[in-house]
Amino acid sequence: MADKHSRLDGPLCTAHRQAMADIRNIVVLTGAGISAESGIDTFRSAGGLWEQHRVEDVATPEAFARDPDLVLRFYDMRRANIQKAYPNAAHDALARLDQYWQGNLLIVTQNVDDLHERAGAERLIHMHGEHLSAWCLSCDGRTRWHAPLSDRPACPQCGEAALRPDIVWFGEMPYRMDEIDRAIGQCDLFVSIGTSGAVYPAAGYVRTARHYGARTLELNLDPSQGSIMFHECRMGRATDLVPAWVDEMLTHQAERL
């Protein structure tokens, strides 16, 4: 396996094909870029999600304590918007990989939309929470949620009006970290799709994967902050790159069988 950082725009080279032939266990990290083509704002793009609100005003526990009405209205708007969006070809392709890949596969998404699920993916972790989930600060219960929270509805489990968005805010611990770390430590291939490489701990996963000997691949519209860490980077639209990559992986699998 070469450690040379490369950008392959044409057909896969022989060395790459040989490396791919040994792949059994895959971890895929997805970020805002995979949902951007479904009309969901990316994290820091011009005109994107945070431009109209400072992060400190809407995405921290301190913001919620200081102005809960603003935070709840903000997330009510986001929750409503994602329910109008639809999975795109990149989501569909990963769901197809999930269905047919015979080795271990884990899709770790930083996104809080439900487009992976609606496309059919099941081997999935939302490390930053989900818009369509409400967390009760009274009983610690979590409930699937599609309606507004700004009118302070009662928790279906305990009856208290103590629901907040089930989103991991800045300063909070992402979900299911032990499972993610274990999968990255055991994977043969780590793939990052549509991420900025600016938000930790996810931005450090490529280093962890390489430390344990995995091959690493970035699929992105533009180079991320961590692009230099990947063995291979392919630049372009997620709806073009991801289906093509999934086709390659399933072809490699069929050739082995």
Q: Which positions are catalytic?
A: 128
Side chain identity at residue 148, one-letter code: P
User: Shortest CA distance to 87 belongs to which of 35, 42, 133?
Assistant: 35
Non-local (6+) Cβ contacts of 152 within 8 A are 161, 163
Strands (E), 11-170: 26-30, 105-109, 124-126, 129-136, 142-144, 163-167
Report residue 109: phi and psi, to 5°: -110, 135
Largest pairwise CA distance in the chain: 61
Helix, strand, or coil here: 238? helix
Report residue 215: phi and psi, to 5°: -80, 150
In sequence order, what DSSP letters do the residues of 172-229 get, joined into one string? SPPTTHHHHHHHHHH-SEEEEES--S-STTGGGHHHHHHHTT-EEEEEESS--TTGGG
